Every structure is written in structure tokens, then in C-alpha cells.
Chains A and B, each alone.
Chain A
Amino acid sequence: MASADLGGRQATAAPASPYAIELKGISKAFGSVQANKDINIAIPRGTIHGIIGENGAGKSTLMSILYGFYRADSGQILVNGAPVTIPDSQSAIRAGIGMVFQHFKLAQNFTVLENVILGAEDGPMLNSSLAKARKILADLSREYELDVDPDALIEDLSVGHQQRVEILKALYRQAEILILDEPTGVLTPDEADHLFRILRGLRDQGKTIVLITHKLREIMETTDNVSVMRRGTMVATVKTAETSPEALAELMVGRKVLLEVVKNPAKAGNVVLSVKDLAVKDEHGVLRLKGVSFDIRAGEILGIAGVAGNGQSELLEALGGIAPASGLVVLNGAELPLAGPQANGKARRNAGIAHVPEDRQSLGLIMDFAAWENVGFGYHDDPRYQKNAWLMDNDALRADTAAKMATYDVRPPIPTLAAKSFSGGNQQKIVVAREMDRNPDLLLIGQPTRGVDIGAIEFIHKQIIALRDAGKAVLLVSVELDEIMSLSDRVLVMFDGQIMGERLPAQTDERELGMMMAGMIAK
């Protein structure tokens, strides 16, 4: 395998074991936290193997051990039946293991070709490596539908294409086993379908694919076998054909989970928020939100669908008082100032807008602050948290935090713990608790369940619907089409800073929305 002879890429002599990877008794602890506990798994060659589990279940740790980022405390790794040690990623590559990370590791100002050979050059002079890579890339592209222009700069490529470059990088290094970590998080439905076609093609050529994801639908559609992890242990490995999403969800969470959102028809009331020609420029003066108009009524959830980066963030920031904007926004009959000192988050909160931001770690929370300090974040002027004109009542804030933690099932319920010590789902619950508990007239909520585990997703969805049923208006922005379709009463699709059109969830499907998200159907 270590040979640089690329002719041997196709099929070496048939190895003895039918398994591409076997892990035997892998354990790994970080301090007192047992991230992996006696993991046993055997992945047959030439299959797509899914690994699912909640956040913190140990999936990433396991894959990091396989890719040489961590060393297991105990246990054995076998590749093609032969025991190997993988002290670093170079060894993983030599063992034929390639990894496609959730966040791509590509040099933005390099071409595709340069990225592919980066770290795998044959010598100090690049020309021969580049020529060789060009030829191999052309072969790979033909074989697997992996077409990318080898001379394009990475920064000019779409996310889907960048991902293909990552796959090409692995294949160029003769990877026989390809691990993909949450590969569809940044893709449109169409791009995701294309990716899965590529993966099936690779499998049919005898490669082994390990797919880490939390999306049950992808597991069901794509994998041959699926392993479920929960709290550091491998709880089951089953044939995908013989299981169901419900059964998998139950295995992941350890209890029955409602995958379908249950809600009554909306009873829409008066217009709460009216937006006309809202436009936002970024710091370079580029128009990111190009004049959008819509209304939201009391008691309805308006969903905004779209691929990330098409103006949804700017919309939330403009309405939340974070970014200056132009246009006309009327909340409960009163016009909101959109620029100047009066356009700030505090003023919006006072006006009755609560905002669960898309990025809880950089906007919604101060990660170094304790949970109780974060519960006061944005509301630290609230009279309830003041002892007198001068001093804050930290005890009152801590007590309020403890109460919110109980209501919103934040675990562990320790108000003095720093925000960064909570899991993603529990961090999100802290933000949701803080914003929803104010009983706002309008809730802005972006990516409510990004990086949140299934159990918490169910909980957060219920909270959003409860708020709607209490007669409040909700603006929901999400890149998860499932979430938009199941929660929204009306859906707007955004593309390139504009609204492509409005649909009712019952009268559309993911295909149509996906086309609109790609800018293909005009109003």
C-alpha cells in the first residue's frame, strides 16, 4: 500500500479478511470522561457503513482514533485483517484510510490540482507531480462522476465541488477506505444526491465508505449497514434494510422519540411583523439582502428555506438589530428604526422581539461565561436581576437560571458551569430558554437544531410550536429542509439575497424547494 505505484490502485491481491476495518475493544478516556468504551465493530469491504449517534456519543473520537489524531487507551485496529498501529494521519493514509472532514481542509488560494498533490508531492519540483496528478484526476473524474476543473481555484468553487476535491485528495492517496464526517451539512438536496451517487459508485468499485451522520434519512437511503453509538458505547450494528428510522432513533437516544412533528393547523391572527424592501449591505458595501418583503401573523411560523449564505443570516441580523439595514419594518403597528444608535439588540428586545441566533457559540452565548451569566445575556438590564440602582442581583439571576434549567431540561442543571462545558444541544436549550421565556411577540430563530441531538431537537421543536399556539409570531430560518417542511405554516425560499417564492408545506416537496434554493424557479 505504501508503494507510490498508482497502477496498483484498482485491485491488489485479494486480502484474507472480508473486513476492511475491524476495531476490537477500543477504549479512550479524556480525564474522567470515557469517550469510547470497549468499541467492537467490523466493516465489510465494499460496503457503505453508517455510524450514527447523538452529539458526544463518541463518533468523532472513534474516527479520530482511526485517523491517527488520538491514540486509543486500549484495543486493536485491523485493516484488511492485519493489525496496524496508527500514530498519526500519515500512517492512516499509508494504511489506505482517507478522511473527508466536515470543515474542509483546503488551501483557498490554490488550484484543485495543487490541493490534491499538497503533501503528496513526488519531489521538490512540482511539474512532474502536477502532470501525473492531472492524468489521474481525469481518470477518477470519468470513473466516479467526480468532475471538477483541475485548474479552478478552490475559492471559486461551490461547497459541493470543494467536497469533491476532498474526496479526490483521498483517492489520489490511494485510499481504499473513505470516512466522511457529516458530509451533507453544507449541501443542497441536489448536491447531496450527487454525493451519494458518487459514494455508491465508489462502493461498486470495491471501496469501503464510512458515513458519519445524524440524519436518519441519509442512513436509510445510502448505507448497507449501520452502527449506532450511545454514550461512548456501540449499542448495535444492523443491516439498514432490516431496520427503520424509528428503531434507529430509539437506539440512539435510549428511549422512544417522536420523529414527526405533531401540530395543529395554525390559527393566524393579525400581522405582527411587516417587512418591506429590507436590504442589508455587508462591511464591504456588497448588497447581501436585496430588498425582501413579507408579513408574519400572530400564531404562525414562517419558514425561510435556503442554502446557507443566501441572505438568511443578514435577514435575522437586520431584524435582530445587529446589522444596519434599509427598508421598512413595522412591528405591531410601530416602525422600527433600522440604522443608527436606536437600531440595537436591546431596543429590539424591548420592542418584543426575541432572537435565537444561528450561531449560538459566537453570537448567542459567551462561551467563557457561566450558564447563569448567559441567562442574563442581553437582559442584564432587566429590573428582576437588579438589587438596587447600582448592583446586579446575581443571586436572583442564578435562581432564575436554575428555574429555567429545570423547565427547559438543561443538563447538567448547574448554573455555575461555563457555557462551553455544555453539549451543543444543552447550549442551545440555554439560549432557547432565555429567549422564549420572555414571552416575545416575535421570535427570530435561526438553525434551531444545528448540532443538536435528536432528543433535544424534539424538545426545541415542541417549544417553537407551543409559542406559535400561544399566538406568537415565529420567523424560522433553517438550512434543514426537513425542519422547515415540518415546522412552518408558510415557507419562503431565499436565493442570492432575494425571495424566490412562497409555498405552503402541504403543497410542495423537497424537490421543488431544492430547485428554488438553487435559484431555478422564479416567482
Chain B
Amino acid sequence: MTKLPTWADVGLVPLISLTLAALVSAGVLLAIGQSPMQALTVMVNGALGSSYAWGYTLYYATSFIFTGLAVTVAFHAGLFNIGGEGQAQLGGLGVALVCLALPWPHWSIALVAAMFGAALFGAAWAAIPAYLQAKRGSHIVITTIMFNYIAAALMIYLLVNVLRPDGQMDPASANFPSGAHLPQFQEIPILQGLFQRFGADGQPRLNAEGLPLYQQVPANVTFFIAILACVLVWVMLWHTRLGYAIRAFGKSEKAAVYAGISPLRIIMIAMLISGALAGLMAINNVMGQAERLVQNSASGAGFIGIAVALMGRNHPLGIFLAAVLFGFLFQGGAALGLETDIPIELRTVVQGLVILFTGALDQMVRMLMGMFFAKKGAT
């Protein structure tokens, strides 16, 4: 097969795959008697049309960046970590335990401690499948899937029996103390202006004390930590000995052993980092948005991370872009559910199609492009 030029490989192929996914989605919409154009307009407006919309899109994207990076680090070690969902839920437990432990004096201190808790719990949940893989050859795909179920059951038990405050009806932890509240975008001075609320007369809306009112968005400082995580993962994979060993092991375990790289060590370290990254997602949703631990806190982000990593070609930059795309699909899909009578389930259909075309059928597009470039090269 002809090797594609880099720009076509990383730019054109995903673009064509996305276009195909969009076309088939349009077909589905037509089939259920809806207008694809209207749906697209609603999605774009709802997810990208205003700073408010972006505040949601980037909130989702933040979660997907963490879970996408988690899948990527394991993938470079040749391991398919499907347990991001469970690791993120356990990360949420870590965050909740840290946040509820003290009346935190300032969010920054709480954040550092909560990050530690999230990473620790996420890594610990990945450690068991990793050890079973390294020592006993139990396939990590199977064990991490099983650990997702175990995590869900464990969380329900803890939320119902241990973390639920007396007298509360729903299975959730107590609300976090106000000192653990992370600044959301509308509370960050530089960004604040973007979220100011205006009345119908175009005048800024003020509260009782005469201060301006802002729109609440869930996107919070965790977004910047996610970007930092992208950079750190990139440096780790391509500029450290550890990353070198992880990638060598992932390409060829046999050769890695020849080079003196210990499979046990690499499997453990790669999975611990992967689990920690998945766990860190909880900073965004549990600490940054819900401010308490609820059931099914990761709400599927762990699985979307697989698609994000796949589409992002297992490179942090690609993951960032893919995470924003999936954030758009998530938020745009929610807007569809709110503003049209298109069922919200359609967003799952669109996501499925995007995953199908960018992941499973990626090679098909690549092959067709290869034939095109081969012809072009021959003439």
C-alpha cells in the first residue's frame, strides 16, 4: 500500500472519515423524517455558537482528553485499557474522599490534594488487571472490562452504605465543602467577560448588589490541567527513557526483552499512568461540576476515551482535537434533544457513526487515498 503524505495521513483521512459519518448521519435523520440541515444548525449553535455553548463543549472535552490520554499511554505499551470507565469512577471516589476530608481553605490546595487522590485511586484500580496481565497473562481487555463492572457495583455499595449522609434519599455523597469549589470559566477573571449576561435591552444584568451576573458553565480550571497533561504525556512518551521503553515494548515485546526492558515493569508503569490519567478525569466532573460523588459519575467518558484515542492517532495533539470534536457531538446532541423533537439518542447514533468511520473504517479511507496518491505519483 502506498504511504500517504503526512498531511493527508493526519489531516485529510480523518476529515474524509468525518464527512462520511456526517453524510450517513444525515441519511439517518432523513429516514426518521427530520431535516439534516436543521439538526446541523442546532448542533453547531448549541455546541459552538456562543461562549455559553463552548463552556459545555469544553467541559465534556476535558473529560475526554483525560480518558483519551489514558487509553493512549496504555496503547503505546501494546495494552488495550478498556477500563477507563471504572478507573474514572474510582478516581471520583478518591476526589470525594479528599474533598470531604477537610474544610479546604483554598481551592488550589484542595485541587492538588484531589488530583493526588484521583490519580492514586485510578492507578490502583488499573494495577490489579496490570499485575494479572504481567504475571499471569490474563488478558487485559477482559480483566479491565470486568473491573468496570466491579467498579460500578463497588460505587453503588459505597454510595448507598458508606458515603450517603443520613437522611439523604439519593445514592450520592454529601456536597463538597465550598473551599473545594474549582473556579469555573465564568469565575476566572480573564474569561469572565465572555459569560456576562445581558438583558433584552442590551444592558448588563446586575444582581441585588449591583454586580454583573454571569452565565454558569461547567467548564472549569481542569481544562487547563488537561492541556498540561497532553504536553506532559507527549514529553513522557517521546522524550524520556521511560517513554522510549514503553513504545519499544509496545511495538515488540520480544525485541524489548532483547534490549533488557522488563515486561513486568513496563506493563505495571504504563497501566499505572493510564489508570491515573483516567482517574484524573474526576477532577473535572466530580470536583469541578457535580461537587459531590454520584452514581455512574464517569457517564461513559471512559469508553469515549477509546474512540478519542483512536481518532487522535494516539498522539496528544490528535487527542486534544478529537476530544473537542466529541465534546461538540455531546453538547450538540444535547441541544438536539432540548430544541428539536429529534430524540437525544440520536447523538449516540452520530457518535457511533463517527467511531465507525474514523476507527473501524479508517483503513478503507486510507486505502482509497493510497490508490489516489499512487495514481497521482505515477503520472
Contact surface of A with B, Cβ cutoff 8 Å: 29, 31-32, 320-322, 341, 344-349, 355, 357, 362-369, 373, 376-378, 380-381, 386, 390-392, 394
Contacts and interface: CB of A to CB of B under 8 A. Distances in A.
Nearest to B265: A341
Contacts of B240: 390-392
Contact of B374 (A31, A341, A344): A31
28 contacts: A29-B378, A31-B374, A31-B377, A320-B258, A344-B257, A344-B262, A345-B257, A345-B261, A346-B259, A346-B260, A357-B258, A362-B252, A363-B254, A364-B258, A366-B248, A369-B248, A376-B244, A377-B248, A378-B258, A378-B260, A380-B241, A380-B244, A380-B245, A380-B259, A381-B241, A390-B240, A391-B239, A394-B239
Contact of B251 (A32, A348, A369): A369
B192 interface: no
B108 interface: no
Contact of A348 (B241, B252, B260): B260
Nearest to A365: B255
Interface in B229-263: 235, 238-241, 244-245, 247-248, 251-252, 254-255, 257-262
Given A363-B255, A366-B255, A344 B248 contact: no
A407 to B, nearest CB: 22
A368 B251 contact: yes
Interface of B: 2, 235, 238-241, 244-245, 247-248, 251-252, 254-255, 257-262, 374, 377-378
Given A348-B260, A373-B244, 14 more contacts: A29-B378, A31-B378, A344-B260, A345-B258, A363-B254, A365-B255, A366-B252, A377-B248, A377-B255, A380-B241, A380-B259, A386-B241, A392-B241, A394-B238
Contacts of B258: 320, 322, 345, 355, 357, 363-364, 378
Contacts of B235: 391
A348 B240 CA distance: 22
B259 A345 contact: yes
A426 B258 CA distance: 20
A373 B243 CA distance: 12
A102 to B, nearest CB: 22
A377 B261 CA distance: 10
A307 B54 CA distance: 68
A391 B259 CA distance: 19
A451 B245 CA distance: 28
B377 A32 contact: yes
A397 to B, nearest CB: 10
A320 B260 CA distance: 9
A246 B142 CA distance: 60
Contacts of A380: 241, 244-245, 248, 259
Contacts, number: 71
A380 B248 CA distance: 11
Contacts of A369: 247-248, 251
A362 B377 contact: no
Given A31-B377, A380-B244, A392 B257 contact: no
Contact of B257 (A32, A322, A349, A391): A322
Contacts of A394: 238-239
A31 to B, nearest CB: 5
A371 B252 CA distance: 16
A362 B241 contact: no
Contacts of B241: 380-381, 386, 392
B12 to A, nearest CB: 18
Contacts of A31: 2, 374, 377-378
A362 B259 CA distance: 12
A378 B259 contact: yes
A73 B265 CA distance: 51
Contacts of A386: 241
B241 to A, nearest CB: 5
Contacts of A376: 244
A228 B361 CA distance: 44
Contacts of A349: 260
A362 B255 contact: yes
A357 B256 CA distance: 13
Contacts of A364: 255, 258
Report, nearest first, the 7 A-B pairs whose CB atoms are least far apart: A346-B260, A345-B260, A378-B259, A363-B258, A344-B260, A366-B251, A380-B244
Nearest to A321: B260
A369 B374 CA distance: 24
A341 B262 contact: yes
A378 B252 CA distance: 13
Nearest to A386: B241
A485 B19 CA distance: 63
A321 B258 CA distance: 7
A347 B259 CA distance: 10
Nearest to A385: B241
Nearest to B256: A366
B239 A392 contact: yes
A156 B378 CA distance: 48
Nearest to B238: A394
Contacts of B247: 369
Nearest to A363: B258
